[in-house]
A and B are shown apart, each in its own frame.
Chain A
Amino acid sequence: MSNDRDFSIIRETVPFFLFRPCVQAHPGIEVATYFVLKFLDIPFLMSDDQTCCGFPTFFWNMSPPEVMVSLCARNMLLAKSLACKAVLVVCNACYTAFNHALRELSNNEDLARRIAEIIGRTPDDVNDLDVDIFHVPEMFYAFKDEILRRMRFSLEGLRVAVHYGCHYRRELMFRKFDDHKNPRFVDELLSDLGAEVVDYSEKNLCCGGSGIQSRVHYELSENICIRKLESIHRVGADMIVVWCPACMYRLDICQRDLYKSGKIDFQIPVLHLSQLIGLVLGLNPRTQLCLHLHAISTQPLLEKIKEIWVKI
């Protein structure tokens, strides 16, 4: 099944422009991605001229829609000026913002002209962005052979629950790396690394975060989060893997709060996909993956891994 999917275009777009996220509750996301890319010798660049993708300005209605499209276009032009053919994001919100901006611009000449005026570039610049957007799941899948060749530990015996995230599945509808209603390719990738990927009934349910829901409707957000976590707990998962800092915030930090207030009676460690791949590659859990900075301790997970992991 996975052989039909074409991930090869991703390999051809290096060097990537590594797009750093705003949500910094888990600094390990950025750190792990940086060291995994270095370890795998995948070329990438970063820049201090980068800003936020602008996701909240449109999706949370904080500014006119042109602000987000302008911020995305500006960041993409920055990537292009550094001779990068693709922006690599580590966050589902950034992924949605960039892809949404590209779709808006592609069938609206008037908008392109307006955005060009706002960011002070020519309409041709904005019309001809020619920069692709990739997220870490598809990027790791594209570099699977390198990961398999250089992995130091197998995930054998580890029960992993995968959370794709609403905004990632939504973009799969357009990007077509997999079936957006029931994506499997990250499950396959982790199976190939030895993990036992568990299916759970609420796999497609939102984490409850939605960025703003935890602020405007705390109870609704919390109920959704509890339902999701209980469904994962029921199938006996050792850990949850995500690739969005917002989902991670919700499932890690809010899970700890729910545990402390007695609303749930379990704690399941949550890792970003880059951190899990980093573990497989044998990177330092503390200094290269920052696993000590999670709300839910990752120590039981690491201890379990010590017991069950075999050095290849």
Chain B
Amino acid sequence: MERAIKEDLRKRAGNIETCYQCGMCVGDCPAARFSNFNIRRIVGRFLLCSLGDIFERENIWDCLLCFECAMKCPRSINPALFIINLRYAGVLLQDINTLLKMSKIIKFAENIMETGLSVPLTDNLINLQREVGIPPRSVSEDALRDVKRIFEKSEALEYMKKVSRNV
């Protein structure tokens, strides 16, 4: 299973194999400045080692996804996007650290599914909007139905269960 996931990652990561480990990606990386996160090392490990090795030795959750590395890479690799795909792999492999981190944030997806918005509306907000005279925010029944359909048809429900099952 791990081999198949790694193969899929390789495809999604595009030209990652052209990485010559120059380290430009680390230079302006905010996570590298404030933790021992090293994106060059993670890409190197991906090319040489197993996925299990990455999950065991690297904290891929330190990445801030600011895309500074993607703006700097002389090979036009997108290391931040690679981190997103690594985290997807972490869910598929049921990596416990990945699942623990995800459990703290999964409610945003549940919010979108249930209310159409990542942060649900509050009465305070609606009252304020009414007071100042802008159209008070609401999400129509049609929109909610469409959002549910999107979550169902894209197999998001099964995916979200994978995240919460073991935590």
A residues at B contact (CB < 8 Å):
20, 22-24, 27, 30-31, 34-35, 46, 48-52, 54-67, 70-71, 74, 117-120, 166-167, 169-170, 173, 180-181, 204-206, 208, 210-213, 215-217, 220, 223-224, 227, 287-288, 290, 293
CA A204 – CA B143 in complex, angstroms? 37
Which candidate, B18-26, B48-56, B116-124, is the interface stretch facing chain A?
B116-124
Chain A residues near B35 (CB, 8 Å)?
A: 217, 220
Would you call B34 and A173 a contact (CB within 8 A)?
A: no
Can you add 11 more A-B contacts, CB < 8 Å, to A24-B119, A30-B129, A62-B105? Answer: A46-B135, A51-B116, A56-B112, A57-B156, A64-B156, A67-B151, A71-B112, A117-B153, A119-B150, A208-B64, A215-B105
Q: A63-B154, A212-B105, A217-B61 are in contact. Are A48 and B138 (CB under 8 A)?
A: yes
Would you call B134 and A34 a contact (CB within 8 A)?
A: yes
Would you call B117 and A22 a contact (CB within 8 A)?
A: yes
Would you call B150 and A71 a contact (CB within 8 A)?
A: yes
Would you call B132 and A31 a contact (CB within 8 A)?
A: yes
Contact of A51 among B131, B146, B154 (CB under 8 A): B146
Would you call B47 an interface residue if the criterion is a C-beta within 8 Å of the partner chain's C-beta atoms? Answer: no
8 nearest A-B pairs in the assembled complex, by CB-CB distance: A166-B66, A62-B109, A210-B64, A63-B156, A170-B67, A51-B116, A66-B154, A118-B153
> What are 25 A-B interface contacts by the 8 Å CB criterion?
A22-B118, A22-B119, A24-B121, A30-B129, A49-B140, A51-B146, A55-B118, A56-B105, A56-B108, A56-B112, A60-B105, A62-B108, A62-B163, A63-B151, A63-B156, A63-B160, A64-B154, A64-B159, A180-B71, A208-B30, A213-B64, A216-B101, A220-B35, A287-B131, A290-B132
Chain B residues near A120 (CB, 8 Å)?
A: 146, 149
In the complex, how many angstroms separate the beta carbon of A191 from the nearest chain B beta carbon? 25
Would you call A169 and B71 a contact (CB within 8 A)?
A: yes
Would you call B62 and A61 a contact (CB within 8 A)?
A: no
CA A212 – CA B83 in complex, angstroms? 14
In the complex, how many angstroms separate the beta carbon of A254 from the nearest chain B beta carbon? 14
Chain B residues near A204 (CB, 8 Å)?
A: 28, 68
Would you call A57 and B112 a contact (CB within 8 A)?
A: yes
B contacts with A, residue count (CB < 8 A)? 58
Would you call A173 and B116 a contact (CB within 8 A)?
A: no
Chain B residues near A27 (CB, 8 Å)?
A: 125, 128-129
Would you call A51 and B30 a contact (CB within 8 A)?
A: no
CA A52 – CA B106 in complex, angstroms? 15
In the complex, how many angstroms separate the beta carbon of B131 from the nearest chain A beta carbon? 8
Chain A residues near B135 (CB, 8 Å)?
A: 46
Would you call A67 and B154 a contact (CB within 8 A)?
A: yes
CA A170 – CA B107 in complex, angstroms? 27
Chain A residues near B66 (CB, 8 Å)?
A: 166-167, 170, 206, 210
